[in-house]
Amino acid sequence: MRDVTEQDASALLAAPLLCEDCEDWKPSRTSKGLLEAGCGLISREGVNLRLYVDMRFRRTGKTNGRFYMFSIFRRQPYGQERIYQLDIRQYPVTPRDHHLLPHEHIGSARQIGDAEWLNWTYDQVLAHFCARTNVTFIPQLPHPDEFRLRGQ
């Protein structure tokens, strides 16, 4: 996976983006316990931007840890490019490994998050993601643990 530059990522995320009718959370085909949701992004004018949002969530049973990885990628003929990624792993004990601490990638730049991110709820993580990326979900993406019937 390639990363765009921080300047290119900021430029791509400057305009409002819409994620309409994002698929519901569903179990991953490749990783047990992982839930995924995703959808293409369009501009306010309805133009396809070749960007898509990729949302991943996991809750660990034994430790009650939570894993959030919310990303925006751009599709290219040679593969995907990472535009933005929010990576928050919440454990009962703060991890010592520097890479496991909450952080975000804005293009090729990696920024460590605040310690308070370790206590954020799903709604706070989603709100931060939407604020940093200018993405609006229509309708709002529900919590992965929330059970919804199709069409509701």
Domain boundaries, the chain: 2-138
- Cα(41)–Cα(16) distance, integer angstroms: 10
Instruction: Give me the pLDDT at residue 148, please.
Output: 55
Whether residue 139 is preceded by a cis peptide bond, meaning omega within 30 degrees of 0, is: yes
CB-count burial class (<10 Å; 0-12, 13-18, 19+) for 37: buried
pLDDT digits (tens, 9 = 90+) for 41-88: 999 999 999 999 999 999 887 777 899 999 999 999 989 999 999 999
More reliable by pLDDT, 117 or 99: 117
Give the mean model confidence (pLDDT) for residues 17-39. Answer: 93
Give the mean model confidence (pLDDT) for residues 11-24. Answer: 94
CB-count burial class (<10 Å; 0-12, 13-18, 19+) for 78: exposed
- Cα(128)–Cα(85) distance, integer angstroms: 11
- Cα(116)–Cα(106) distance, integer angstroms: 20
Whole-structure pTM value: 0.91
* Residue 75, token pair as written in the block: 């599709």
The percent of residues in the chain predicted with pLDDT above 90, rounded, is 73
